[in-house]
Amino acid sequence: MSLSVQFLSLLAMIGTGIVAGAFMDMIGTSTAHAGKKSIIRKRAVWLEVIGWVLIGCGTFYILYLVRDGAWRIYDPFAQISGMLLYVTIFYKPFRLLGRVLLVLFIKPLWFFVRLIVLIVRKIILFIARIIVVLCTPFVKLYRIISRKLFKRRVK
């Protein structure tokens, strides 16, 4: 293995460490900002375990692309140094990018989804009320007829 391939794989492992740090920070921030009774808060441990598994799978996929899956002893150190790089240097820019994405894309999308659900709910409620209004005379007529036809006879 040439020196340039080793350097490229080292940079790839540092990059996966940075991405792993950002991903775990995202999971931690989202669970911390979830409501007290939220299902996300209740399942926070499982979400972190799934996050670590996904990070591990992604790391080995990168290793497969860069070095045909060959693992070296310096890979964990490179990944830990990437996580430390994220904490020291890339933390604030990633958070800023996350806030910008939240304000520009996620919140408007969430607003439109909630608006569509509200409109569909109101339409269904309106149709149900129309059906109730149309069926009310028949229900009253049935009650009047059923009282006369099915009276109990006292013996």
Establish if 155 belongs to a structural domain: no
Q: By residue range, what is the domain housing residue 84?
A: 3-149
Give me the pLDDT at residue 1, please. Answer: 67
Pair 102, 40: CB distance under 8 Å? no
Per-residue pLDDT of the chain (155 residues; tens, 9 = 90+): 677 878 888 899 999 999 999 999 988 888 888 888 888 888 888 989 999 999 999 988 988 888 877 778 888 899 999 999 999 999 899 889 988 998 999 899 999 999 999 999 999 999 999 999 999 888 888 888 877 776 666 66
Give me the pLDDT at residue 154, please. Answer: 64
Give the Cα separation of 3 and 50 in Å (integer). 35
Establish if 20 belongs to a structural domain: yes
Give me the pLDDT at residue 18, please. Answer: 94
Give me the pLDDT at residue 82, please. Answer: 93
Whole-model pTM: value is 0.69
The domain total for the chain is 1
Give me the pLDDT at residue 151, please. Answer: 67
Establish if 109 belongs to a structural domain: yes
Q: How far apart are the first and last CA of the chain?
A: 105
> What's the burial of 86, exposed, middle or buried (CB within 10 Å: 0-12/13-18/19+)?
buried
Give the Cα separation of 65 and 13 in Å (integer). 12
Establish if 82 belongs to a structural domain: yes
Give me the pLDDT at residue 89, please. Answer: 93
Give the Cα separation of 102 and 109 in Å (integer). 10
